[in-house]
A and B are shown apart, each in its own frame.
Chain A
Amino acid sequence: MSYEELARMVLKGDRRSIARAITLIENNHPKTQQMMSQLYRHGGNAHIIGVTGPGGCGKSTLVGKLVKEFRHKNKTVGVIAVDPSSPFTGGAFLGDRIRMQELSADEGVFIRSMATRNNLGGLARATKDAVCVLDASGKDVIIVETVGAGQSEVDIIKVAHTILVVLAPGLGDEIQAIKAGIMEIGDIFVVNKADRENADRAVIDIRTMLEMNSGKQEWKPVVVKTIAIEGKGVSQLVEKIEEHRKYLEKGAFASKRREQVETEFFEVLRQKIEESFLNDLKKKREFDKILEKILAREVDPYTAAENVIAKKLKNNKD
């Protein structure tokens, strides 16, 4: 199937084509970019929800219940669940679906597991593109689940409009979360496993922390208690999610989108510029010559870099 045909089928919501398109993205297939340029203009309609937090706090269970709640409201839902690849073997065990299996026969739901493939920089890009595929396919809500473990995970989740930070009582998660820098990015905080002791304590701790951080932002992050395995608190959580969406639609949406698009555009531009200059240099073996001149101190790195740029720009004009 050609990428145009694939893109066309994705727009029609064909499930197999959606799956295929995400594989192209994951494999960084040469045709990915052309496919994405067909899909991009059809995106922008979905509400994208990021779910992050430490492993084992109940994210996947909660995502399963959130999907059910959105389905009750007649919304179609896409889920992307990201799990780490082993740094040693490159393999991955992707088990998030275990908690979502009752959804897999529902035509209004599409779930995809993605491994990090030890390429966290590239992963943020791949996740964005996969979200774009689901968006273009017409899903109303897209949920991205990732383990909150560091800066790169934060980058991944930033594709979202509404970010849920999930914690569980008694695991010292709060401290972990601060370390990973995920406290700052949460729009809604979820204390899951509220059937356990110390859930109220955790809620108070988080509130205190949020108050210390609270600047002049208009949206005050909220804290919600859930028992995901029993589905308790989930409808309240969805209410908060919709409240946040309404808040965004009143104006913050536009500025948030603009910020995200700016970041994305600069990232891509930088990457393209880098590729285009480096490919040229390496093709012509000029690279070694320049390095030798710098080594011999005939020229400094700054001047050398400027010369390379000037030369390329001149060549392009000719």
Chain B
Amino acid sequence: MNQERKIRVLIAKPGLDSHDRGAKIVARALRDAGMEVIYTGLRQTPEQIVETALQEDVDVIGLSILSGAHTTLFPRIMELIKEKGLNDVLVFAGGIIPEEDVPEMKKIGIKEIFGPGTPTETLVKYVKENVKKKI
């Protein structure tokens, strides 16, 4: 039998956003690019997101947020990721994140931020080129 690796991605929605169209479009695009995408629905706490990433042993976490709560939620998520030792997981974010917040988000370890309307091909390419395959 052959060894078979797959990129596993968690698409998570922290905060109180009331819809997840964007997140689902991203999830579908990554799936169509051959990845295994775990989707967990709306209103996830940082603890739930990081614990899910751990149990599912994902290579990538995509955070989607519209509500503006990123300045509190993202640092907490990154803190938990470090606490649980998920150091080689690639974290990117999408949704509505003001330009002036981007440097801070990158400083805490979010590798890339995609604004609304980013073509899904860009995202797929980014993930494929930046993921660290663990095994």
State in angstroms the CA–CA spacing of A203 and B135 once bound together: 48
Q: Tell me, yes or no, whether A150 is within 8 Å of chain B by CB.
A: no
Q: Tell me, yes or no, whether B72 is within 8 Å of chain A by CB.
A: no
Q: Mark A94-134, 1 if CB is under 8 A from B, else 0.
A: 11011001001100001111010101001000000000000
- Interface pair B1/A122, CB less than 8 Å apart: yes
Q: Tell me, yes or no, whether A73 is within 8 Å of chain B by CB.
A: no
List, in ascending order, chain B residues with CB within 8 A of A85's CB: 36
Q: Tell me, yes or no, whether B78 is within 8 Å of chain A by CB.
A: no
Given A93-B28, A101-B40, A105-B48, A115 contacting B33 (CB threshold 8 A)? no
Instruction: Report the interface size for chain B: residues with CB under 8 A from the other chain.
Output: 35
**Majority-rule SS of A interface residues:** mixed
List, in ascending order, chain A residues with CB within 8 A of B28's CB: 93
State in angstroms the CA–CA spacing of A89 and B34 once bound together: 5
- Interface pair B47/A90, CB less than 8 Å apart: no
- Interface pair B34/A19, CB less than 8 Å apart: no
Q: Tell me, yes or no, whether B21 is within 8 Å of chain A by CB.
A: no
List, in ascending order, chain A residues with CB within 8 A of B45's CB: 105
Q: Tell me, yes or no, whether B116 is within 8 Å of chain A by CB.
A: no
List, in ascending order, chain B residues with CB within 8 A of A113's CB: 36, 38, 56
List, in ascending order, chain A residues with CB within 8 A of B41's CB: 97-98, 101
Least distance between A230 CB and chain B CB atoms (Å)? 18
- Interface pair A111/B5, CB less than 8 Å apart: no
Least distance between A91 CB and chain B CB atoms (Å)? 4
- Interface pair B37/A91, CB less than 8 Å apart: yes
- Interface pair A89/B39, CB less than 8 Å apart: no
State in angstroms the CA–CA spacing of A212 and B25 once bound together: 47
Which one, A22-30, A180-188, A243-251, is touching chain B? A22-30
Q: Tell me, yes or no, whether A20 is within 8 Å of chain B by CB.
A: yes
State in angstroms the CA–CA spacing of A242 and B108 once bound together: 48
- Interface pair B48/A24, CB less than 8 Å apart: no
Least distance between B5 CB and chain A CB atoms (Å)? 5
Contact partner of A91 (CB less than 8 A), chosen from B30, B48, B84, is: B30
State in angstroms the CA–CA spacing of A39 and B70 once bound together: 42
Given A30-B3, A97-B38, A104 contacting B51 (CB threshold 8 A)? yes
- Interface pair A93/B31, CB less than 8 Å apart: yes
State in angstroms the CA–CA spacing of A30 and B1 once bound together: 10
Q: Tell me, yes or no, whether A295 is within 8 Å of chain B by CB.
A: no
Least distance between A165 CB and chain B CB atoms (Å)? 26
- Interface pair B31/A117, CB less than 8 Å apart: no
State in angstroms the CA–CA spacing of A86 and B37 once bound together: 12
Q: Mark B101-135, 1 if CB is under 8 A from A, else 0.
A: 00000000000000000000000000000000011
Nearest-CB residue, chain A, relative to B84? A16
- Interface pair B38/A94, CB less than 8 Å apart: yes
List, in ascending order, chain B residues with CB within 8 A of A20's CB: 57
CB-CB contacts below 8 Å: B23-80 with A: 27-28, 30-41, 44-45, 47-48, 51-52, 54-57
Given A28-B4, A104-B48, A122-B1, A15 contacting B36 (CB threshold 8 A)? no
Nearest-CB residue, chain A, relative to B40? A97
Q: Tell me, yes or no, whether B2 is within 8 Å of chain A by CB.
A: yes
Nearest-CB residue, chain A, relative to B5? A27
- Interface pair B39/A23, CB less than 8 Å apart: no
- Interface pair B1/A19, CB less than 8 Å apart: no
Given A92-B37, A97-B40, A115 contacting B6 (CB threshold 8 A)? yes
Give the most central of B39, B44, B84, B85: most A CB within 10 Å. B39
Q: Mark B85-107, 1 if CB is under 8 A from A, else 0.
A: 10000000000000000000000
Least distance between A89 CB and chain B CB atoms (Å)? 5
Given A97-B52, A101-B40, A117-B6, A24 contacting B135 (CB threshold 8 A)? yes
A-B pairs with lowest CB-CB distance, top 3: A91-B31, A98-B41, A19-B57
Using CB atoms and an 8 Å cutoff, list the residues of chain B in contact with chain A: 1-6, 8, 27-28, 30-41, 44-45, 47-48, 51-52, 54-57, 84-85, 134-135
Other than the known A92-B31, A104-B51, what 18 A-B pairs have Cβ atoms closer than 8 Å?
A19-B57, A23-B134, A26-B4, A27-B6, A27-B135, A28-B3, A86-B31, A91-B30, A92-B36, A93-B28, A94-B38, A97-B38, A97-B52, A105-B47, A105-B51, A110-B55, A113-B56, A115-B6
